[in-house]
Amino acid sequence: MSKKSILTGRVWKFGDNIDTDIIAPADTISFGLGDAAEQRQVLENAFRAVRPNFHELVKPGDILVAGRNFGLGSHREPANKVLVSLGFSAVVAESIARLFFRNSVAIGFHAFQVPGIDAFVDEGERLEINLEAWRLRNLDRGTEMAIEPYSELVKNIIDAGGIIEVMKQRIAAGAVPVD
């Protein structure tokens, strides 16, 4: 992930209870291979239950906005990774399942819980996320709202590009034994 302080993108909206089976259908995942063929299959089938061929519509930098309970369901990292593969720069939802949020942080992907987001932006509008001021701005309406800042730990992990990158840095610095 880049260390950009402002993310700007077109909004794609989803409702409540978008689970990991909708995001990355279970029948597309081998649970471990993660090779190019599997990644392509997951990408091509992402959100197929609610938006067939969605992968053909999303553009790099777009922002996914959802209702309550986004990412609920199984603890499935491919559901988080496919959002990156699709090109999303962030997810902003009324509420996000804890495990989905943790997986997002682990891969260095932005996920925000923002009560009121559903009424704040419509699909197709442009949203700006300012990671220094911790503000959302609907560029089409000219309206703004606050977002809760990440903790320093979460911010550092996301800025580094995820937990694996943090561990690589710590190992390189001699801070983590490699035995």
Selected residue with higher pLDDT from 42 and 90: 90
Q: Could you tell me if residue 64 is inside a domain?
A: yes
Q: Angle, nearest 10°, between helix axes 163-172 and 152-160?
A: 80
Residue holding tokens 């990774």?
Answer: 81
pTM attached to this predicted model: 0.91
Among 75-89, 96-110, 111-125, 143-157, whose mean pLDDT is lowest? 75-89
CATH code where residue 79 lies: 3.20.19.10
Please report whether residue 178 resides in a domain.
no
Residue 3 has pLDDT above 70, yes or no: no
Domain assignment of residue 41, yes or no:
yes
pLDDT at 2: 43
Q: Is 160 within the bounds of a domain?
A: yes
Contacts of 89 (CB under 8 A, 6+ apart): 7, 9, 60, 61, 62, 63, 110, 129
Structural domain includes residue 1: no
For 66, half-sphere exposure in the C-beta direction (CA atoms, 13 angstrom radius) is 24
Phi, psi of 13 (to 5 degrees): -105, 140
Instruction: Please report the pLDDT score of residue 22 as a whole number.
Output: 95
Q: Is 17 helix (H, G, I), strand (E, B) or coil?
A: coil
Residue 179 domain flag: no
**Predicted pLDDT of residue 174:** 86
Residue 26, SS3 per DSSP: helix
Q: Which has the closest alpha carbon to 49: 86, 88, 20, 29?
A: 20
| Domain count of the fold of the chain | 1
Q: Is residue 102 part of a domain?
A: yes
For residue 12, give both structure tokens: 């794609």
> Range of 35's domain?
6-172
Residue 1 has pLDDT above 90, yes or no: no
